[in-house]
Amino acid sequence: MERFNKYSIVYINLDRAPQRRKFMEKELERVGIEGAFRFSAIDANKEGALNQAGFSSGAGDRWTLPKSAIACFESHRAIWKLAVDQKLEAIVIFEDDVLLTDEIHDIISNLMASSKKFDVVKLDIGGSYAKCGNTTKISGLNVRKLFARLSSAGAYILSYSGAKKLLARSKTYGDTVDDFIFSPSPDWNMYQLFPAAVSQVVNLDNSKGSLTYLMEQGVLEGEREKSPDFEGKKMSRGPFYFRVKKEFKRLIKKISWIFYGKNKLLGQGGYYGLIPLREDFVVKFSK
40-54 confidence digits (pLDDT tens)? 999 999 999 999 999
Please give the CATH topology (third level) of the domain spanning 9-235: Spore Coat Polysaccharide Biosynthesis Protein SpsA; Chain A (3.90.550)
Q: What is the largest CA-CA distance in the chain?
A: 57
Strand (E) or helix (H) holding 124: none
Q: Are 176 and 65 in contact (CB under 8 A)?
A: yes
> Tell me, what's the pLDDT at 203?
87
192-237 confidence digits (pLDDT tens)? 999 999 999 888 877 666 677 676 666 766 554 455 555 445 677 8
> Tell me, what's the pLDDT at 223?
55
> Tell me, what's the pLDDT at 12?
97
> Tell me, what's the pLDDT at 207?
63
Q: Domain segments of the chain: what residues?
A: 9-235
Angle in degrees, 0-180, between the axes of helices 160-169 and 67-85, rounded to the nearest 10: 130
Task: Measure the CA–CA gap between 164 and 83, rounded to whole angstroms.
Answer: 8
97-130 confidence digits (pLDDT tens)? 999 999 999 999 999 999 999 999 999 998 889 9
Strand (E) or helix (H) holding 216: helix 212-216
pTM of the entire predicted model: 0.91
pLDDT at 90 over 90: yes
* Count of beta carbons in the 10 Å neighbourhood of residue 36: 20
> Tell me, what's the pLDDT at 232?
45
| Averaged pLDDT score across all residues of the chain | 89
